[in-house]
Amino acid sequence: MIDYLKNIKFPDKDSHKGKNGRLLIVGGSKLFHAASLWSLKVASRIVDLVHYSSVEENNAIVQKLKEEFRDGIIVPRTELDEYIKEDDCILIGPGMVRTEISNDKAQMSNQIQSLKDIEKIKDEGLQTYYLTKYLLQKYPHKKWVIDAGALQMLDLDDIPNNAILTPHRQEFSKLIAKIPKSKDQISNKFQNPNNKKPKDTPDGGPDSIGDSSGVEESVMRFVKQYHCTVLLKGEKDIIASSEKIEIIGGGNAGMTKGGTGDVLAGLVAALYCQNESFTASVAASYINKKAGDALFEKMGYWFNASDLAEQIPKTMKMLRI
């Protein structure tokens, strides 16, 4: 672990604004206001610039919080192309809603030619699907962190090389279920005992993808198939790329509260701006759990996502990152 933390890049003494990371966060919805704001809060402590793009309601909220977001820019979703080109990494998904995609809705793809076309879609879940698809397909060579709503609406063939996916176990089980039958030589080796359908457990717990003995193999097979990095969240986080795997323990039950995953996603994306995907994921998992443990020492289980976002920079200082 020490090696991963040592590899995290520090700002150079002679660096200028923007040189130490530029992150774009695409997230939020009318239903989930706070999720992407927690990602934003932690990321803005780490990188030089955070660009934030959400629905109009959330953009207005962030605008009011400008005193805490001095180096950020609010980006209308119709202008995302301009900022994606210049930013180091894009986090997509925190607070974005999902929906069921029927065949007729999926056929709308040929009607989606621009971000303005996506903006006109009234169904927010459908908008999540097409915005995610449009951006991942148009910018496959950018650094991507795919989380929450975008992850749940993801078409597997759209996963860019070297993207970081941040599922909990239930979400990962559903990703496995999307593997097409034409790739049965891969999918039928995943650990899903007795071919059971993934359970909709509230916490995405162990029942989602079988016992822990098969989870690591499942994750490794997935990342090799789709050339990505997976940070599988749980009591013990599993981080895997096509060549490496790490298990990160620690944390506590206070971290099951809503929003803590959004904090982690913001931390991962901020570190990914200036580091490679596996190092960023392992370091973020470790820092996040250490921050949760520090809060437990002070507050017991009675802390929330905002407390965690505030604690992370302090923990990074303690770890001398």
What's the CATH number where 74 sits?
3.40.1190.20
Average pLDDT over residues 106-110: 68
- Which of 209 and 226 is assigned the larger pLDDT? 226
| Lowest mean pLDDT across 31-40, 49-58, 129-138, 182-191 | 182-191
Q: What is the mean pLDDT of the chain?
A: 86
| Lowest mean pLDDT across 26-40, 85-99, 203-217, 245-259 | 203-217
Q: Does 239 fall in a domain?
A: yes
Distance CA 285, CA 298 (A): 20
Q: Which residue has the tokens 């916490």?
A: 203
Q: Which DSSP symbol is given to 164? A: E
Q: Does 3 fall in a domain?
A: no
Contact 259, 265 (CB under 8 A): no
Binding-site entries for (6S)-NADPHX: 35, 95, 168, 262
Average pLDDT over residues 140-161: 97
Q: What is the structure's pLDDT at 44?
A: 92
Q: Does 4 fall in a domain?
A: no
Q: Does 75 fall in a domain?
A: yes
Distance CA 85, CA 137 (A): 14
Order of all β-strands in the sheet with 229-232: 72-74, 49-53, 22-26, 89-92, 143-146, 164-165, 229-232, 237-240, 245-248
Q: Into how many domains does the chain fold?
A: 1
Binding-site entries for AMP: 261
Classify burial at 224, counting beta carbons within 10 Å of its beta carbon; exposed 0-12, middle 13-18, buried 19 or more: middle
Q: Does 82 fall in a domain?
A: yes
| Lowest mean pLDDT across 69-73, 182-186, 191-195, 283-287 | 191-195
Q: What is the structure's pLDDT at 292?
A: 98
Q: How confident is the model at residue 59 (pLDDT cuts 50, 70, 90)?
A: low
Average pLDDT over residues 46-54: 92
Contact 28, 53 (CB under 8 A): no
Q: Does 76 fall in a domain?
A: yes
Contact 209, 173 (CB under 8 A): yes
Does residue 188 surpass a pLDDT of 90?
A: no
Average pLDDT over residues 22-49: 90
Q: Which helix (H) or strand (E) holds 260?
A: helix 260-272
Neighbour tally for 73: CB within 10 Å: 12
Q: Which residue has the tokens 């805490």?
A: 68
Q: How confident is the model at residue 181 (pLDDT cuts 50, 70, 90)?
A: confident
Distance CA 148, CA 204 (A): 12
Contact 163, 145 (CB under 8 A): yes
Q: Does 6 fall in a domain?
A: no
Q: Does 72 fall in a domain?
A: yes
- Residue % of the chain over a pLDDT of 70: 81
Q: What is the structure's pLDDT at 99?
A: 85
Q: How confident is the model at residue 19 (pLDDT cuts 50, 70, 90)?
A: confident
Distance CA 150, CA 134 (A): 12
Q: What is the structure's pLDDT at 103?
A: 62
Query: What pTM did the predictor assign?
Result: 0.88
Binding-site entries: 35, 95, 168, 261-262
Does residue 64 surpass a pLDDT of 70?
A: no
Distance CA 293, CA 254 (A): 9
| Host domain of residue 27 | 19-318
